[in-house]
Amino acid sequence: MLNPVCLRSGTATMSRRRTLGLLTSGLAVAAMRPAWAAPKMKQVEVAPALYELAFSPSRNALFVLSAGGFAEGAPASRLLRLDPQSLAIRSELTLPLRGFGVALDDMAGRLYVGHGLDAAVSVVDIGENHVLGTLRLATKVKGEDGKEEYPYKLRELLLDPSGERLYLPGLGMKDSQVYVVSTKNLTAEKPITGIGPGATGIALDAAKDRLFVSTLAGQLCTVRRQHQWHRFEVVI
């Protein structure tokens, strides 16, 4: 039979005193330490409806995408080039359509802009600050309400520089697909279909030649770039 080990009251009191002493000394040491300075934050207002941005190490420039406005007479969508230290605008470029997503190929000096509501993508020469071209990825179709609109909305862009491909998930409420664009000549290739509703996020595993696509329906799709894919349920 095991006997319980009991502490005497004197021992217990001494233990509490030691604990209080340690706590007090710890607080004293903490008080001697210099307080951490709050991080400095610089904030400037450059344009309305800022969606995405990309930093170019080779040009020491921050590219910021403004979608502009949606009401009649609202400002146009612009690509702004900022000084990363002062956040001052160095230059700006008016875009042909409202822009929402960007992908930067810093080595090639190209910035890709996704026009999410217009099923299109533009490529910008960031050295010369002009639009090289715009590619329409789909045509309008008549919806259930009788209005014509593009079948999928674009949000995120994924660039594969070595493969010379740009991937753009097209979000649809009933189904989705991934648009594939050749960055060599800005032409559309065969899209990846069968993703399911609500495709939003995308990532590339170049070493194993596969894409990962997430959906608002809680699914994660693994896509082989030969257009073979597997779908997994993501339980949250």
Domains, the chain: 46-136 (2.40.10.480), 153-235 (2.40.10)
Three-state secondary structure of the chain: CCCCCCCCHHHHHHHHHHHHHHHHHHHHHHHHCCCCCCCCCCCCCCCCCEEEEEEECCCCEEEEEECCCCCCCCCCCEEEEECCCCCCEEEEEECCCCCCEEEEECCCCEEEEEECCCCEEEEEECCCCEEEEEEECCCCEECCCCCEECCCEECCCEEECCCCEEEEEEECCCCCEEEEEECCCCEECCCECCCCCCEEEEEEECCCCEEEEEECCCEEEEEECCCEEEEEECCC
User: What's the confidence (pLDDT) of residue 59?
Assistant: 97
pLDDT at 18: 53
What pLDDT does 9 receive? 38
pLDDT for the residue numbered 143: 83
pLDDT of residue 28: 54
In the prediction, which pLDDT does 178 show?
95
Mean pLDDT per 10-residue segment, the chain (236 residues): 35 47 50 66 90 97 94 91 96 97 98 98 98 97 90 95 95 93 96 91 91 91 67 44
The pTM score is: 0.80
